[in-house]
Amino acid sequence: MSVRILDIQEITKPISSPIRNAYIDFTKMTTSLVAVVTDVVRDGKRVVGYGFNSNGRYGQGGLIRERFAARIKEADPKTLLNEAGDNLDPDKVWATLMSNEKPGGHGERSVAVGTIDMAVWDAVAKVANKPLFCLLAERHSVKANPRVFVYAAGGYYYPGKDISMLRAEMRGYLDRGYNVVKMKIGGASIEEDSARIEAVLKEIGKDAQLAVDANGRFDLETAIAYARMLRDYPLFWYEEAGDPLDFQLQAALAEFYPAPMATGENLFSHQDARNLLRYGGMRADRDWLQFDCALSYGLCEYQRTLEVLKVAGWSPSRCIPHGGHQMSLNIAAGLGLGGNESYPDLFQPYGGFPDGVRVENGHITMPDLPGIGFEGKSDLYRDMKALAA
Ligand code: MG
C-alpha cells in the first residue's frame, strides 16, 4: 500500500474572545485550520489528517496556500514516503515544506509549517491505525503514559472583571478537577496584581497551586520588582517575565527568584530553544519549558528541540507546552513531557479534550482514538469535516 497526498486545504477561522493579557487582546484572533487529504480509504472512509495553529499567533492562510502547500503538491509523491513505502514519512514531508527556506528569522512561517506538520502526523497515525501518542512512544522506544497532567490557564483581564469574578473563575477550575491554575499579571499595577494574587490564593487554599504569567511584558527593572513581590507567595511558576528573546533578562531574574520560572512559548525553533538553555539561566532542576510545536515548525522540529534539551542535561518532563491542544497531549503521553496547558473556557472548539474526557486530580487519560484524536471532539470535528468536504 502506498500513500499519496491528494490535496491540502486551509481555512482561516476566528477564535476571538473579549479577553486580554499584559500584551495583546484576543478580539481579532484567528487560526488556520488545515486538512491533508490522502488517497487511503479505511473502513470506507478517506483518511484525512487535520491541524490548526495555537492561539496567540494568527492564521497563516497566505503562507500555507502560496508557499507551503504548493511545495507538497508539486513534490514527487514517492519522495514523501517512508522506507517501507507504506506510510508518509513526516520528516521527508517537513524537508519538502522547508526547501528553499533560509535559516533563522523564524517569524510566521514556523506557524504555517507547524500547522501542516500537525495534519501530517494525524494522517500518519491514522494510516498506522494507532493513537499518535502510541506511535510516538514506539518510534522512540519508550513507554507511553496515557495519564497526562493538565493545568487550567485563565485569569485574563477583561472589561468589568473584578476580584470576585476572578475568584469564582478559579473556583470553577477546581470544581472541574484541576489542581494547578494560572492567572495573568502585568496588565495592571503591581499593587493591583498583588491584591489579585492574594485573593486567588485565599480562594484556592490548599486545594491547588497558582502560576502567574506576564506574557513578556516587563523590562528588567519591572521583572525584578515583580520577582521581589512574587517570591513571598508559594507559586507554581513565574512565567515569561520579559521579552522572549531577552535571555540576559531571564538569566538576571534567576538571582531574584529562587522558585520555579517558566518560559518558551514564543521561541519557535530548536536553535532558539538551545539559546535559551545556553544563555537564559534556566535551571534544569526546577524551571519549566513551554515550547509549543504548533507554533514552532511542528513535531518534527519539536523532536529536535527535545534532543537539544537532552544534550543540555534537561529531562523532557520539564516541558509543559503552551497552547492547550490535543497535539501536545499526544506528545506528552508518548514522549514523557511534564504535562500540557489547558484553557477550560477559551479558544473553542480548538482547545480542550475529546468528549467524555474528564480532569481528575489534575490529570486526564488519553482515549484510544487513531491519530491525534480530533474525531472524538464533536464540535471541532464538525468544522474539520466541513473543510475536507
Ligand atoms: Mg504564557
Contacts of 308 (CB under 8 A, 6+ apart): 270, 273, 274, 277
Residue whose entry in the numeric block shows the C-alpha cell 490564593: 201
310 assigned to active site: no
Catalytic residue among 106, 130, 270, 322: 322
**Ligand 1 centroid to residue 373 C-alpha, Å:** 25
For residue 16, the model assigns a pLDDT of 78
184 assigned to active site: yes
CA–CA gap between residue 182 and residue 170 (Å, rounded): 8
**Ligand 1 centroid to residue 144 C-alpha, Å:** 27
pLDDT per residue of the chain (389 residues) written in tens, 0 to 9: 789 999 999 999 998 778 888 888 888 899 999 999 999 999 899 999 999 998 889 999 999 999 999 999 999 999 999 999 999 999 999 999 999 999 999 989 999 999 999 999 999 999 999 999 999 999 999 999 999 999 999 999 988 899 999 999 999 999 999 999 999 999 999 999 999 999 999 999 999 999 999 999 999 999 999 999 999 999 999 999 999 999 999 999 999 999 999 999 999 999 999 999 999 999 999 999 999 999 999 999 999 999 999 999 999 999 999 999 999 999 999 999 999 999 998 888 998 999 999 999 999 999 999 999 999 999 999 999 999 98
Closest CA to 110 of 91, 94, 90: 94
DSSP classification of residue 260: -
**Ligand 1 centroid to residue 243 C-alpha, Å:** 12
**Ligand 1 centroid to residue 15 C-alpha, Å:** 17
**Ligand 1 centroid to residue 217 C-alpha, Å:** 11
**Ligand 1 centroid to residue 182 C-alpha, Å:** 9
Closest CA to 320 of 303, 342, 301: 342
**Ligand 1 centroid to residue 379 C-alpha, Å:** 25
**Ligand 1 centroid to residue 141 C-alpha, Å:** 31
322-296-124 Cα angle (round to 5): 95
**Ligand 1 centroid to residue 216 C-alpha, Å:** 8
Longest CA–CA separation in the chain, Å: 64
Asked whether 252 and 224 are in contact (CB, 8 A), the reply is: yes
**Ligand 1 centroid to residue 371 C-alpha, Å:** 27
**Ligand 1 centroid to residue 195 C-alpha, Å:** 21
Instruction: Give the sheet arrangement for strand 5-14, strand by strand.
Output: 5-14, 30-42, 45-52
CA–CA gap between residue 183 and residue 200 (Å, rounded): 9
Write down the pTM of the prediction: 0.97
Supply the DSSP string of 176-226, one letter for each residue.
TT-SEEEEE-SSS-HHHHHHHHHHHHHHHGGG-EEEEE-TT-B-HHHHHHH
**Ligand 1 centroid to residue 56 C-alpha, Å:** 9
**Ligand 1 centroid to residue 290 C-alpha, Å:** 8
Catalytic residue among 184, 270, 325, 377: 184
CA–CA gap between residue 116 and residue 197 (Å, rounded): 39
